[in-house]
Amino acid sequence: MRTIDWVDGAVELVDQTRLPGECVMLRIHTVSELVAAIQRLAVRGAPALGVAGALGVVLADGDPGEIAALRAARPTAVNLAWGVDQAAAHQGAGREAVLAAALRVRDDDIAACLAMGERGADLLEGDRLRIMTVCNTGGLAAVERGTALGVVQTLHERGRLAEVLALETRPLLQGARLTTWELARMGAPHRLIADSAGPYLLARGEVDAVLIGADRIAANGDTANKIGSYALALGAERAGVPFVVVAPESTIDQHTPSGEHIEIEDRGDEEIVTVRGVRVAPEGTRALNPAFDVTPHDLITAIVTDKRVIRP
């Protein structure tokens, strides 16, 4: 199954807000529908956003206002703007050329995820690996296979995976809803943990490597990823556990010198004071909701891309 694709003149994507209850495909015909889908996280994850951006340019049909709105739909994952730019660069050559460029972004992502899976699995030592991860970095976050969870899939296919400990990933529970769903489909052993249990389980010696994805990697290696990643990096360093970022080259942003220049999306009060629509804090409670954090490069053991291994 492809998470996102171009089918019969429209963008088709899995509505991730409905998982794990139902797996429903959405057909999207306009840029405003696509922007809404991106903002409510029906489509999410940096590589999938890159493909959504590229395919969205086909729907925009040269309208500069629509292209700008699409590019800015979410600020942290550089892949969205990158994907838009890849397709928009071909506008002068007509709609078919834009579509061909967008399909190249899709196909390159599929190839990149396969390559990252192999390279990441080659990098890790050991035969019965216990992996900790946060958020969702699987096929749902890309077109197929994904980044950090793509490495997990390759380890599993090679018979080298003992278990995955998946953080539930409050507030939107991408770990609990999506990562467990994907791990179950691949038949990989896994247990779900509360986010706050991550650093303690690292300290207790229950993890051989932390694998995460990335939304933007600054030129010096500082990495923005789902909130909670930084706490895992601190815990991993203290426990002497490798902390590995897995992301395609398109997530590296050479125009952003370091982490403090990365715009971190704040998603507002509602997602914190409610859980899946149920209020958990008193009426009137205010919240702070950074959707991502930044892990400084000196806490990162390695960055695995589709082309290389970087040791920041």
List interacting residues with ligand MRU (CB under 6 A).
41, 44-47, 77, 135, 137, 141-142, 146-147, 174, 213-215, 225-226, 291
Q: Is the peptide bond before 20 cis (omega within 30 degrees of 0)?
A: yes
Q: How far is the CB of 256 from ligand MRU (least distance, A)?
A: 16
Please check if 44 is assigned to a binding site.
yes
CB-nearer residue toward ligand MRU: 47 or 83: 47
Q: Annotated binding residue at 153?
A: no
Of residues 75 and 98, the one with the C-beta less far from ligand MRU? 75
Minimum separation from the CB atom of position 48 to ligand MRU (A): 8
- For residue 266, give the DSSP letter: B
In angstroms, what is the C-alpha Rg of the chain? Answer: 19
Query: Tokens representing 4?
Result: 């996102």
Which phi-psi region, left, alpha or beta, contains residue 228 (left: φ > 0; alpha: ψ -120 to 50)?
A: left
CA–CA separation, 214 and 233 (whole Å): 13
Dihedral through CA 182, CA 187, CA 190, CA 194, nearest 10?
A: 20
Q: Which is nearer to ligand MRU, 225 or 250 (CB)?
A: 225
Ligand-binding site membership of 307 (annotated): no
92 and 57 Cβ atoms separated by less than 8 Å = no
Q: CA-based angle 68:250:110, to the nearest 5?
A: 105
Rounded CA gap, 244 and 69, in Å? 33
Q: Shortest distance, CB of residue 44 to ligand MRU, whole angstroms?
A: 3
Q: Which residue is nearest to ligand MRU (CB)?
A: 213
42 with 16: CB under 8 angstroms? yes
Q: Which residues contact 17 (CB under 8 A, 6 or more apart)?
A: 40, 41, 42
Q: How far is the CB of 295 from ligand MRU (least distance, A)?
A: 12
Which is catalytic among the residues 108, 109, 215, 293? Answer: 215
Helix, strand or coil for residue 85?
helix
Catalytic site includes residue 215: yes
* Minimum separation from the CB atom of position 2 to ligand MRU (A): 15
H helices of 40-147, in order, are 46-60, 64-71, 78-88, 95-123
187 is in an annotated binding site: no
Which residue, 2 or 226, has its beta carbon nearer to ligand MRU? 226
- Peptide bond preceding 257 in cis form (omega within 30 of 0): no
Q: Tell whether 225 is in a known binding site.
A: yes
Q: Which is nearer to ligand MRU, 9 or 196 (CB)?
A: 196
Measured from the CB atom, the residue of 39 and 91 that comes closer to ligand MRU is 39
> Sign of dihedral through CA atoms 239, 242, 247, 250?
positive
In the complex, minimum distance from the CB of residue 56 to ligand MRU, in angstroms, rounded to a whole number: 16
Contact status, residue 70 vs residue 11, Cβ threshold 8 Å = no
- Residues tagged active-site: 215
Binding residues: 44-46, 74, 174, 225-226
Q: Which residues are annotated as a binding site for substrate?
A: 44-46, 74, 174, 225-226
